[in-house]
Amino acid sequence: MANDKILGLSGSLRSHSYCTAVLKTIQESALTGVELTIHSLADIPLYNQDEDGDRSPASIKALREAIRQSDGIIMISPEYNHGMSGVLKNALDWASRPYGASSLAGKPVLTMTTSPAFTGGVRAQTQMNETLLSIQAWPVPRAQTVIGSIHEKIRDDRLVDEVTLGFIKNGVVALQGEIVRVRNHVTR
Ligand code: FNR
């Protein structure tokens, strides 16, 4: 069986981002049947409908194609002022187009948030799932992965909290289950 191709998107551009550190840890965890590629959002311009369509920027075409080629997505964001980061929202706005033909439509997505606060970015995650539903993506129905006190769980840009990592690994298994459902055209 071929590995599931998972695309990792981080809503933080910070070089020592906790969100990106979590993605890198998953990538290095050698999960069964998973091939995780992290796609940086650093070169995504601000959304401008005038620039969309056939003439959309190369970085946007690359993002849309990376989403299209993936079997599923792990999307992780910090919480900024009780919402997802502008970086991620902006990328989702680009990815949502063309209207009715988004590469995200029907795509299984496992959402996660992190924060140094004990609330773990839960408000941002609610917003992420709401936005994904509007694009008709397929958020994994599961207990939310909100990682509070993240600064105490990261060392050398990697997640070192085994309990949190175990919960995340179960989330990835759930994502793989949704990928199978989509592949087999199972509706819910
Ligand atoms: C924050 N932070 C934050 N945290 C939180 O739990 N709720 C919030 O509403 C906010 N708001 C917020 C706004 C802005 C502009 C910044 C810069 C930060 C803290 C944030 O969670 C923290 O900086 C994370 O470490 C950012 O994620 P990365 O960059 O480590 O992935």
What is the predicted pLDDT for the residue at 185? Answer: 82
What is the predicted pLDDT for the residue at 187? Answer: 66
What is the predicted pLDDT for the residue at 136? Answer: 96
CA dihedral 96, 100, 103, 104 (to 10 degrees): 60
d(CA 179, CA 5): 10
User: Does ligand 1 come within 6 angstroms of the Cβ of 115?
Assistant: yes
**Residue 133, C-beta contacts closer than 8 angstroms, at least 6 positions apart:** 139
What is the predicted pLDDT for the residue at 1? Answer: 73
Which residue ranges of the chain lie beneath pLDDT 70?
Answer: 187-188
Q: Tell me which of 79, 89, 126, 149 to substitute to probe ligand 1's pocket, judged by most ligand atoms within 8 Å of the beta carbon.
A: 79
pTM for this predicted structure: 0.97
User: Does ligand 1 come within 6 angstroms of the Cβ of 151?
Assistant: no
Residue nearest to atom 22 of ligand 1 (CA): 115
User: Does ligand 1 come within 6 angstroms of the Cβ of 78?
Assistant: yes
Q: Tell me which of 81, 82, 118 to substitute to probe ligand 1's pocket, judged by most ligand atoms within 8 Å of the beta carbon.
A: 81
What is the predicted pLDDT for the residue at 188? Answer: 63
What is the predicted pLDDT for the residue at 47? Answer: 98
What is the predicted pLDDT for the residue at 57? Answer: 96
